[in-house]
Amino acid sequence: MKAKRVHECRQCGYQGSVTAGTIFHKTRVPLRDWMWAIYRMSQGKKGISAVQLSKEIGVGYPTAWLLQHKIRKAMADQEQGRRLSGLVEVDEGYVGGAEKGRARVGRGAQTKSVVAVAVEHWDGGKAGSRVVPGRSALAVLPDATTASVQGFVRDRVRPNSAVWTDGWWSYRGLTPRGYGHAAIPLGEDRQITQRFFPWVHITLSNLKRFLLGTHHKPGAKHLKRYLAEFTYRLNRRWQEASLFEQLARACLSSSTIIYKDLVAQPELA
C-alpha cells in the first residue's frame, strides 16, 4: 500500500511495515544510514564512537548512541546460548577508571566492573598444529565470588571441558560440576602465565584498549553491550568479508530496544 508504505496480507488483511519486528521498527533514520552504521560496527576492529558516527550520518549524538546500542543488542542476541568447549582458559579482570592507591588494582579494586573472560585453545583440528585462540566469551559479573564466577563457567563452557584458572578460591568446586579443572598458582612468574594463560590476558588487554581508545569510559550500566560488540567481532575475525551481511541479518531477526528502556535500566554492580 504505497500511500501508507505498508504491506497488507491478502488473506487476513493484516497491515505491517517491512521493518516491523526488527531493530529498524518505527525508525526515522534512513535505512541507508542504518546500513552504514552496521557496516562501520562490523568492519572496524576498534569499533566507532557515537560522536564519530553522528558526524558521518548527520544525526545528533543521542540518535547515533541509540542506533549503536540497538545494533549491539543484535550482536548480543547472536552470542546467546553459545558455549565454549575443549581446553578453556578462564579469568576475570577489572574495567573502569583509574583508582588511587596500589591496593585498588586487580581484585582489590573498589569502583571497577568485574569482567569474566573465557578463551578456547584451538589447534585447527590437527594434532601437533600450533595452538591459537578460538572463540571467546565475556560477561559483566556483580563480583568475583564463587556464585558469580562459577555461574559464568556453567553458562559459557560446556561440561566435560578442561578449564584452566588461577588459584583464586572462587574457582574451587568446578571439578564436581563436571569440568576438568586445573587451578594453577601464578604468583609473579611470567613464564607460568605465558604457558598456561597465553590468550585470556591478551583478550582482556585488547578489550581495555577498545573501551579506552574508542569509547573512553563506558558506564557500568551499558558495559554488557560494549562487551557484546567486542565479542561479536572477535569471534568472527576470520569472516571479515561476510561480517556486514551477517550483522545486517542479525539486526533483522533481533527484537529492538528503545531509548526509555536503555536509560531506565539499573546500574550494574
Q: What is the per-residue pLDDT across 96-112, written as a single tens digit (0 to 9) for each?
A: 765 555 545 555 555 78
Average pLDDT over residues 195-205: 89
DSSP letter (8 states) at residue 251: H
Q: Are 44 and 64 in contact (CB under 8 A)?
A: no
- Percent over 90 (pLDDT), the chain: 61
Q: Has residue 10 got a pLDDT over 80?
A: yes
* Strands 87-95, 113-122: pairing kind: antiparallel
For the chain, give every domain's residue range: 7-80+240-264, 87-209
Q: Has residue 245 got a pLDDT over 60?
A: yes
pLDDT band at 29 (very low <50, low <70, confident <90, very high): very high
- For residue 151, CA distances in Å to 141, 161, 232 come to 10, 15, 21
What is the chain's mean pLDDT, rounded? 88
Sequence-distant (≥ 6) Cβ neighbours of residue 122 within 8 angstroms = 86, 131, 132, 133, 134, 135
Instruction: Give alpha helix (H) positions in 94-220.
Output: 146-156, 190-196, 200-215
Average pLDDT over residues 181-207: 83
The CA-CA-CA angle for residues 23, 82, 166, to 5°, reads: 125
pLDDT band at 232 (very low <50, low <70, confident <90, very high): very high
Q: Has residue 68 got a pLDDT over 60?
A: yes
Q: Which three cell numbers stand for residue 180?
A: 576438568
Q: Has residue 221 got a pLDDT over 90?
A: no
Which CATH architecture is the domain 87-209 placed in? 2-Layer Sandwich (3.30)
**pLDDT, greater one: 268 or 131:** 131
